[in-house]
Structure 1
């Protein structure tokens, strides 16, 4: 006979083991009640002792803590099992985020035990409740990029039986003193930067994944196009988790400009245009990787800031013909070069950049090479001629190992370590070669033809493609986990296996429900561990022929207990003959008025959520609360809560009856139809069947309603947690900084200074701290910018204009914005400067802004050369920076008079958890500094003076930088304490005389006497050039005005 193994007072595995060993007597009493009817009522009387969600929400560091057992996905705080010594470093220097020279920066290595292994991955990490790592969506490159910038140098050990001790722990504890912790999944952080948490170790929690297999996802993230007449050579050789810097110039000769673009997960935008000309004689851009950004120049290396690594001593390399460098690897002062465009074989060259590219070694092994990269001791290259992979000594380029017998497919690659060598082949396959195991495994496929790749770690790869002669793309590949997690049957089967039952002793074939996650969180019996699953997913367990069979509720009746067959008894005087069916109804006051289910909410970062179901009309005042460590979505949890309440009320009616042995095939858990004496019938679930030894079966059953249990067609709306917003990874893209050395924008800005504008590439940009250094070593924070400026660059050159103060209604300029938008304004606002902007040195007003494409606007109706910047009207070029002069976004930065002529260095730091990493450095040598006097106007030279007709008379009118309103009866105020000018007289480009001229209040005048003219070497018919500049109190010579005259 059989009976339900699990009930509110009965044990699942304990009861099963008792039955299998000692027969029915080994099963705890009360099992015949079934789970739902007995479990709900029992919950009112007995304290729940099973696993609960709160058990592992707080990170700890203690001996004797239970090791959680997770299924599917679950958020676990973990237990710190080892902590190294904190490392303290002063952070007041370069890249310190403006913390000042006294601020200490602390990093620390430690290990956190998570749960019993094996697990598949860690997908998300929270620090003090804030999301800092999120790779749960392989299509979200921004999150993956930011996560791998935030949490670096950490290793996840899955908890299998093959894992080895961690090297970081071995370095601290000793090789022989460090266990491998096999069977325990744990994470080791190597020197985690604690500065973003106030130099304290944060409370961490981790989303672990246990079930799915690894999947590779690749995508192209952003593309930048820069077209020239014959095409453009592009290179982005230095890639990181954040992207990289791309540089390109026109193919083949005749282009002096080099465009610089930023490639990131947030897009691809041009950041500057270098006016550079030099070597560019190659036939194609070589493939390879560098530890610094730049572009190769056959030979030579141009950096994004315009500096140049000369390679003039390289000499002639045997590459087939000049410009045939097809592959390279740059690391430190070494650059390794070779060619794959040959069929006769060429050497690999090692050139020393500190010695102007001098060749210091070359390989004797010739090949058609694809250089993959290297380590501190070796260089790796694939030879197309032999199909072999070669390992070379880094210093001498002597062959130290040859790998063959494997069908390598490599055009380029990356060396993460000497045992992790990655390749990208003709079919875009990304493969891993493990020399220690002699295995070559395809991991996935790149999104395009690759010119540069980098393995950020074993799961994250970043690519650049510069093969196209018009654009360059940034892409990535992420090896992630799928979205199908586990089934209830998998969890139940594993729990029974851990209790000592063999697979043949358990039947979970009916438990096919998909389950997001479940966790055994404390020390408890297997019976208690199965309880939350049985209560939430509505199944029972019974013994059947020596097998514990888990039976899912909600089935349709398997048969009918005919009324004529009821009342079987060996005794004619037995009450079973007179009362074949005994019906019992539980008191209403013993049943729940409401049911509350608390669980980790799938959509709320596993924070506890509670769903509630109530019975509208009842005399009961009992409220039942349940907590389960099962990850549920709100609507699913609500449906299950309602079903629990309904099941408790439906199951209040129970039946006892007897039959003959004809019904022996039915078992506890089966749903049956029970007929009554008056033709009525009930749907019941068998909870017990007992043989009396005299030919009769004693049955117990509970009223059942199969339709109450959640199914695929049943939907409901669960309650959501108020005030919760799903967290996203902080903005981790670039900060674009503009330092404007221009005349003052406001009357109050009369002291030396510059203006700072900054923005990001997304609306989520948090602002930035700006650090300043005068020696490129010690940086100090001087400002924080929280309001993004509208910035971009000119898609084409703005034509010159000579119309003075008249609006330029002829010319237009196309502006590509990094982020934000532009708007038109009325004519009155236009004249008042509502739409003021800085473009390549010129301050202008625009009236019309028309959007022509995504992030692209055409400006027209221009008022040019504002604020004394008319000289820049004739010098515009494509690619120059555009900044909308918004008073709320522009920051004024004072400078010292000693800064004029010296280089200032600026670094940016995001105002979020990524504040520990500086953005790209910007430098400026101030010349204007808001105190450079404007050029005089109406500068005229005329023959004759009051003294002599042979003299030359000069006159000019000064201008003011501030307080320049047009007032009747008053001239503009003088910006300086004294008015004087420097007059320079030139013969061609040669200065022949310099004179300081005192002003007359409105400008200046000077008589160039005939004697001085002759003394300066001018003869009749000669052209004399005059240049006048106003002097400032700060020693900054003003902008010049020029005029000429013929003697």
Structure 2
């Protein structure tokens, strides 16, 4: 800082000279008077990244946009919520517990314009679009106005009379943040706070921090800055050092001075005195050994999500000497920080040269901090000392460095927390076809869910078996499924040969979902199985034709006994890629066969109103598939010999020379004969896959034949043939 040296021999000097001296004294920037240190250090980078809840913690005054942790100023105890899942239908009932908390975090000692992203334990809790990645009841921020009211949630908990409004301070309030994602504790939070709509000048920061004592613009812009602590000097000095500014007396206080600007031109009147001592120190150049070889600037880098960055400038002739470190609680780009480091190094080098200039009495008001030029010489100087000694008025000057050139710089490898929009929940629920070899004893519902955005992770699942009157919690959905809707149905096809002509077009829930190819071996192993409407099919080829639209071909139709649904799809039907890890399986009581159950899912972005779907329980997951290869031979006696091949709920893999397992307690079939008018002619049961219909039973006219296998839990769908 500038120091004023004043030595007057003899008594009081009055008149214009005395007035000028008094004015210079009164307007000088003296760190021991205006910015007397109070013992607290200025802000460090680490201070902004660690959340505290200590009483008496410093409250930062934020400028621009910056990422800060803040201070927890209020919180509830953990809120425990008890639920249950399962129970009944032979299943054990499981009691589950979840925890949440409500709390408030103080952010800034001056007003803010908004809050952007929020990180919890280093992961995004709130994205740039304002979407939350974890479940919570509500979120709001209070801007820090002098007229703001008390927060209603805190007032309801603590009592209105005991709740401060925190006027002049900005803070954020979380209501019932679910803590399961954070080990059932309040996570360490950091906030992207927008205090000002644009970058701020270093001079504006100094003016606010000093309470208006320091004024003026510097031309050095900060993307963001955090000022806190009682020591105003410790806040302002690092800013001035990086900006290349200094301070000078002003009309009503102290003004910010920058390297460029108007300068007073002075002539060197010579130094009065006797002998060589009078001329000593007119021009001095300090040794380069006193300078740092390296300057490092630590800062917050917006390109690194405001994580700490470091930029370094090194002297060309550096020999491993001392290093100057500048730690600035400010948001700067890598290029800006690099340029600041180069500028500090250049100013140190250029500033080695000092001049002592004798001037006339008319220039006695040109005091410390003034910007001057020396008549007949190039370059600019600033006054560092004003000295009146032995009736000689002398100014000590330090050369001002020119602006540094723009330096290339890199933020390094950036590993930002992914910001994927969650989106509303998309839900599909269906009674499973016979997708596995497991023999079920009760109907099984498959639930697949995803979101309209790639950031969706899961949703709370509930089930109602009484039409929505009561609901029971079923925990969370499985991993996000690949789910969508039919745009162009595949049309008719055969379950016995590959469909090389039909194509299926679907729109997936969001653009990040993908479908892949599968060769014959992979298809035989069960790859690319999808439920389309009520048909289970597989696809060998998938082509993306738009952002979310895919065209599927090389179709294997009517898989696992769903051939009856071939050709029944319409546009808008659900499409679900069947993946074991993306399915929640729910067993339903056998008494619900023939009825409807409802499934609902509520995710983070659903605002408590998630989708709900109804599932007709037919029992298809419990009964054997329909017989196949039903044929009729006509002997000469006028009768009909029927034969068919049974299928099984288990043993879907083809085994040469070995019949598939029965999968039921007994082998039995029901054969129903009806006329064209629907009149029942006969219903016959047999324990072999064949039946002889004599001429009397056959009768005359057209005869419709339906064959069903009798399973342990009901009848299969019929295999049918018409006899003319």
TM-score, normalized by length of structure 2? 0.81
The answer to whether the aligner puts 1:552 opposite 2:258 as a matched pair is: yes
Q: Residue 208 and residue 566 in structure 1: after superposition, are their counterparts in 2 closer, same or farther (change >3 A)? A: same
Q: Residue 818 and residue 916 in structure 1: after superposition, are their counterparts in 2 closer, same or farther (change >3 A)? A: closer
Partner SS, residue 335 of structure 2: helix
Partner SS, residue 339 of structure 2: helix
**Out of 658, 677, 687, which is 1:998 matched to?**
687
**Out of 57, 65, 69, which is 1:65 matched to?**
57
Q: Residue 929 and residue 58 in structure 1: after superposition, are their counterparts in 2 closer, same or farther (change >3 A)? A: same
Partner SS, residue 647 of structure 2: coil
The alignment covers a number of residue pairs equal to 693
CA distance in 2, matches of 1:669, 1:574: 31
CA distance in 1, matches of 2:290, 2:716: 94
Q: Residue 781 and residue 489 in structure 1: after superposition, are their counterparts in 2 closer, same or farther (change >3 A)? A: same
**Out of 478, 486, 496, which is 1:794 matched to?**
486
Query: Aligned residue for 1:78?
Result: 70
Query: Aligned residue for 2:504?
Result: 813
Contact kept in structure 2, 1:933 and 1:961, CA below 8 Å: yes
Q: Residue 755 and residue 103 in structure 1: after superposition, are their counterparts in 2 closer, same or farther (change >3 A)? A: closer
Partner SS, residue 685 of structure 2: strand
CA distance in 1, matches of 2:519, 2:684: 47
Contact kept in structure 1, 2:368 and 2:386, CA below 8 Å: yes
**Out of 551, 561, 566, which is 2:270 matched to?**
566
Q: Residue 198 and residue 1007 in structure 1: after superposition, are their counterparts in 2 closer, same or farther (change >3 A)? A: same
The answer to whether the aligner puts 1:937 opposite 2:628 as a matched pair is: yes
Query: Aligned residue for 2:705?
Result: 1026
Contact kept in structure 2, 1:195 and 1:916, CA below 8 Å: no
The answer to whether the aligner puts 1:156 opposite 2:141 as a matched pair is: yes
Alpha-carbon deviation of 1:1038? 0.7
Query: Aligned residue for 1:717?
Result: 409
The answer to whether the aligner puts 1:491 opposite 2:205 as a matched pair is: yes
Write the deviation string for residues 124-182 of structure 1: whole angstroms up to 9, x where unpaired: 333333332245xxxxxxx22447x8555334332222122222233233333333332
Write the deviation string for residues 986-1020 of structure 1: whole angstroms up to 9, x where unpaired: 45345565443212xxx13254684xx5xxxx9x6
Q: Residue 764 and residue 701 in structure 1: after superposition, are their counterparts in 2 closer, same or farther (change >3 A)? A: same
Write the deviation string for residues 808-840 of structure 1: whole angstroms up to 9, x where unpaired: 444433333335344566678778876554322
**Out of 329, 336, 348, which is 1:629 matched to?**
329
Alignment of structure 1 residues 572-591 onto 2, 5 Å: 573=274, 575=276, 579=279, 582-591=282-291
Alpha-carbon deviation of 1:629? 1.6
The answer to whether the aligner puts 1:167 opposite 2:152 as a matched pair is: yes
The alignment yields a C-alpha RMSD, in angstroms, of 4.2
Alpha-carbon deviation of 1:538? 1.4
The answer to whether the aligner puts 1:595 opposite 2:268 as a matched pair is: no
Query: Aligned residue for 2:225?
Result: 518
Contact kept in structure 2, 1:580 and 1:658, CA below 8 Å: no
Alpha-carbon deviation of 1:606? 2.9
Q: Residue 23 and residue 921 in structure 1: after superposition, are their counterparts in 2 closer, same or farther (change >3 A)? A: same
CA distance in 2, matches of 1:648, 1:585: 12
CA distance in 2, matches of 1:856, 1:66: 54
Alpha-carbon deviation of 1:859? 3.7
CA distance in 1, matches of 2:476, 2:395: 84
Q: Residue 152 and residue 845 in structure 1: after superposition, are their counterparts in 2 closer, same or farther (change >3 A)? A: closer
Alignment of structure 1 residues 323-402 onto 2, 5 Å: none
The answer to whether the aligner puts 1:704 opposite 2:396 as a matched pair is: no
**Out of 105, 115, 118, which is 2:111 matched to?**
118
Query: Aligned residue for 2:551?
Result: 858
Partner SS, residue 354 of structure 2: strand
Alpha-carbon deviation of 1:783? 6.9
Contact kept in structure 1, 2:541 and 2:552, CA below 8 Å: yes
Alpha-carbon deviation of 1:699? 1.1
CA distance in 2, matches of 1:558, 1:1004: 116
Partner SS, residue 706 of structure 1: coil
Partner SS, residue 625 of structure 2: coil
Query: Aligned residue for 2:11?
Result: none
The answer to whether the aligner puts 1:1040 opposite 2:718 as a matched pair is: yes
**Out of 87, 90, 102, which is 2:95 matched to?**
102
Query: Aligned residue for 1:685?
Result: 382
CA distance in 2, matches of 1:991, 1:728: 65
The answer to whether the aligner puts 1:785 opposite 2:479 as a matched pair is: yes
Contact kept in structure 2, 1:93 and 1:777, CA below 8 Å: no
**Out of 53, 75, 78, which is 2:45 matched to?**
53
The answer to whether the aligner puts 1:611 opposite 2:349 as a matched pair is: no
Write the deviation string for residues 419-454 of structure 1: whole angstroms up to 9, x where unpaired: xxxxxxxxxxxxxxxxxxxxxxxxxxxxxxxxxxxx
CA distance in 1, matches of 2:685, 2:393: 125
Q: Residue 737 and residue 28 in structure 1: after superposition, are their counterparts in 2 closer, same or farther (change >3 A)? A: closer
Contact kept in structure 1, 2:420 and 2:453, CA below 8 Å: no
Query: Aligned residue for 1:459?
Result: none
Alpha-carbon deviation of 1:553? 1.7
Contact kept in structure 2, 1:997 and 1:1006, CA below 8 Å: no
**Out of 702, 724, 733, which is 2:423 matched to?**
733
Query: Aligned residue for 1:4?
Result: 2
Q: Which runs of 5+ in 1 are unaligned?
A: 8-18, 36-46, 95-99, 136-142, 213-483
CA distance in 2, matches of 1:831, 1:619: 70
CA distance in 1, matches of 2:56, 2:540: 72
CA distance in 2, matches of 1:935, 1:827: 26
Q: Which runs of 5+ in 2 are unaligned?
A: 6-19, 87-92
